[in-house]
A and B are shown apart, each in its own frame.
Chain A
Amino acid sequence: MAAIRVAVARCGDRLTRNVFQWNQKAARCPVRTVAHFTFQPDPEPTQYGVTQKMNLFQAIQSALDNTLSRDPTAVIFGEDVAFGGVFRCTVGLRDKYGKDRVFNTPLCEQGIVGFGIGVAVAGTTSIAEIQFADYIFPAFDQIVNEAAKYRYRSGDLFNCGSLTIRAPWGCVGHGALYHSQSPEAFFAHSPGIKVVIPRSPVQAKGLLLSCIEDKNPCIFFEPKILYRAAVEQVPLDPYYLPLSQAEVVQEGTDVTLLSWGTQVHVIREVATMAQEKLGLSCEVIDLRTILPWDIETVCKSVVKTGRLLISHEAPLTGGFAAEISSTVQEECFLNLEAPIARVCGYDTPFPHIFEPFYIPDKWKCYDALRKMINY
């Protein structure tokens, strides 16, 4: 507004008119920042001591802070992490722990992961940041051919188990092709790494600490849309949430809804809609770990409900829902009462202005659920 005021003061009526017309037009445009999900905080965890209100980036920062304070070998590095990171996840850490432990690298993803592997091979804790999951592909070779295979190929003489790679992940409303991607399925095909995605600040801290402590190279994807949006009470002390364990966040009997990351909040809302509109009892599961995933929890739920809907932001073809779907079909064939439904992104690159139409929102999930129930 200040800019417009200055313009008005300096120029004649014509410009003023134009500016105001433009302003009015803009005002008529639909506001496109409405979130496609509603974050639902979990009850405050009481078993880990004192908690504090944190959003997701603060919970990540807290996990990193805990790690640096307890593990003198731990180092954090990546592009722009020194001043606090472009998403504020490393804010204050360099001042607190020194510039040899929290430092910027040159702008080169294959270098960051290769370097991180080397730090881990030397036996020290290595936490690498890739600025956006979209830019992890230059490091694909280092992750898939090197990190994932280090222990196996050396007969366990060497390993890079103390490596964790963090990366902002998922859609953000306007990120278009290269600030929105969900590349977990590319990595799910790579034995030797773990892939973990949290849905909330409490989950993020507990799962990230487990990744850092885990004896295997882990990729930790942080839903960037939740960095500021998700706020809940998070324990200040370190605590660990188990990897390769899905969590049933809501029990139900009629259908199983499965997802991870932000999309868990979408299917939670769908469960409420289904209850209200269709009188359905949905079991909502957060998969949490993509690889190696928790087959048991998912299959147990499907055996009970007989129906499964999987939803993820990533494109349908080759998405991780395909893996889950075929496994559940194999394991629960006699219990399935309807074909397994997959509600995913379309098989296109992630678009800019079409994002509201691209994402598998609650209406798309609800409609698929409705059809599945009537099958």
Chain B
Amino acid sequence: MATLRGLLRVRTVTGRWRGVRDRQCLLRNTIRCQSDFTSLEEKPQFPGASADYVDSLEFIQPNVISGIPIYRVMDRQGQIINPSEDPKIPKEKVLKFYHTMTLLNTMDRILYESQRQGRISFYMTNYGEEGTHVGSIAALNDTDLVFGQYREAGVLMYRGYPLDLFMAQCYGNALDPGKGRQMPVHYGCMERNFVTISSPLATQIPQAVGAAYAFKRENADRAVICYFGEGAASEGDAHAAFNFSATLECPVIFFCRNNGYAISTPTSEQYRGDGIAARGPGYGLLSIRVDGNDVFAVYNATKEARRRAVAENQPFLVEAMTYRIGHHSTSDDSSAYRSVDEVNYWDKQDHPISRLRHYMLHQGWWDDEQEKIWRKKSRKMVMEAFEEAERKQKPKLEHMFTDVYSEMPVQLKKQEQSLMKHLKLYGEHYPLDSYEK
């Protein structure tokens, strides 16, 4: 109660602090503005902040009990709660949402199993977070650039990335545009403006800000969206990015998937503030928290953030609350640190896919028969791509040496020749047959 009282007092005081000048600042769409220097008034003149004096000692309390509210458009039964918030997305587009989410889910199940059988070396599923991918990317233009972490395959799928190429990357076969160099699920696609994934967490966040700055200078009507988990948000690079985006006024949307865990680490060991969204205002970012299992809530928030980010050249932060239903990766058994009941709740009772299905059933856009047909069809598509990918050879061996630089340095050429010479003598001890000649 003491905490609450403290909060109330702070809020009241804040209300009184907000003067006419502040409102003018807000009108001019400035987050913070400094007053003109004057020595006549008894007003603070510090260059570092725009604030009034206060004559009683009061620490600002973080508001973690009653945090930033979670924006929701439809309930767990797929009913629109507030009609004025209904994005009224046409049937075809909603079907595309659903097809993408479920196709991703089918691909996840098959590739997860294939890793269990040792057919690919590694995999990470997207269970429970399909809604965040589809809802956000559908709200963007196709030319908007995407920087991701690794659990955003639905974004690529929504943009039409072929199943063959997902599989090619996981198998590192000759069809893989990445030439088999990175671990599975490190996808990338130039034509679909999806920057290649890398393993180091959060490194993409300041990069996304740089790309957004370049777009701003080009007047390109392009935004950048950058996905990351709540764990990655603890990295120094996240801090760098939030701050740079605000001071350099970049059209970027930071999209945080807060799924409760970073591998085994629960959020209580990740942070003590009100999640990630509450950090935004500290950086001068416009911020919102949404229900990540509500594809329409995600869509609405991203759509508006995109519109304003480009129009006003300012960054936005969207924190999508969700739950990581699957294991962290195929190298992880999540039952070692959380209960099956907890997982089941999210899987059975609050899942982005089932929620959208309820909505479609209400609309009369979907039925059990269609569900059955689509399940069968999507499974067939995935299995076909899967078998095809498995049959393909690995890329040519020379691709171990290319693309280190735009050109090949002399010493690297020599190292390549030395490997080739070596293989002439000892080739039988290497899996040469699996690689293209």
Contacts and interface: CB of A to CB of B under 8 A. Distances in A.
Interface of A: 73, 75, 100-101, 103, 105-106, 108, 110-111, 113-124, 126, 138, 141-142, 145-146, 149-159, 161, 191-192, 194, 215-216, 244, 292, 295-296
Nearest to B181: A153
Interface in B113-138: none
A151 B203 contact: no
A146 B203 CA distance: 7
Contacts of B203: 114, 141-142, 145-146
Interface of B: 145, 147, 176-179, 181-182, 186, 188-190, 195-196, 198, 200, 203, 205-215, 217-218, 236-237, 239-241, 243-244, 247-248, 399, 402-407, 409-412
B124 to A, nearest CB: 17
A126 B200 contact: no
Given A121-B195, A155-B196, A156-B402, 12 more contacts: A106-B244, A114-B205, A115-B209, A115-B244, A117-B207, A118-B210, A121-B207, A124-B217, A146-B203, A150-B196, A157-B188, A192-B405
Contacts of A161: 406
B207 A191 contact: no
A106 B209 CA distance: 13
Contacts of A215: 405-407
A138 B240 CA distance: 11
Given A146-B198, A157-B189, A111 B213 contact: no
Contacts of A138: 236
A154 B188 contact: yes
A151 B406 contact: yes
B196 A146 contact: no
A110 B202 CA distance: 11
Contacts of A156: 402-403
Nearest to B178: A155
Given A122-B211, A155-B179, A157-B189, A111 B404 contact: no
A114 B405 contact: no
Nearest to A163: B210
B181 A119 contact: no
Contact of A118 (B178, B179, B213): B213
16 contacts: A101-B217, A106-B247, A111-B206, A114-B210, A115-B206, A116-B210, A118-B206, A141-B203, A145-B198, A154-B178, A154-B188, A157-B177, A157-B178, A192-B405, A194-B405, A215-B407
Contacts of B412: 191, 292
Given A105-B248, A121-B211, A295-B411, A114 B237 contact: yes
B207 to A, nearest CB: 4
B210 A117 contact: yes
B240 A159 contact: no
Given A155-B178, A292-B410, A118 B247 contact: no
Nearest to A292: B409
A119 B198 contact: no
Nearest to B147: A118
A94 to B, nearest CB: 14
Given A117-B210, A118-B207, A155 B243 contact: no
A216 B177 contact: no
Contact of A244 (B179, B181, B406, B409): B409
A153 B236 contact: no
B241 A111 contact: yes
Contact of A146 (B181, B207, B241, B406): B207
Contacts of B189: 157
A122 B188 contact: no
Contacts of B409: 244, 292
Nearest to B196: A154
A101 B403 CA distance: 30
Contacts of B147: 118
Contacts of A151: 403-406
Contact of B247 (A101, A105, A146, A295): A105
Given A142-B203, A152-B403, A155-B181, A123 B188 contact: no
B405 A216 contact: yes
A294 to B, nearest CB: 9
8 nearest A-B pairs in the assembled complex, by CB-CB distance: A118-B210, A114-B206, A111-B240, A122-B214, A154-B196, A118-B207, A215-B406, A292-B409
A153 B196 contact: yes
A117 B204 CA distance: 9
Contacts of A116: 210
A275 to B, nearest CB: 33
A150 B147 CA distance: 13
A123 B206 contact: no
A155 B209 contact: no
A220 B386 CA distance: 46
Contacts of B211: 118-119, 121-122
Given A118-B212, A157-B189, A216-B406, A106 B241 contact: no
A12 to B, nearest CB: 38
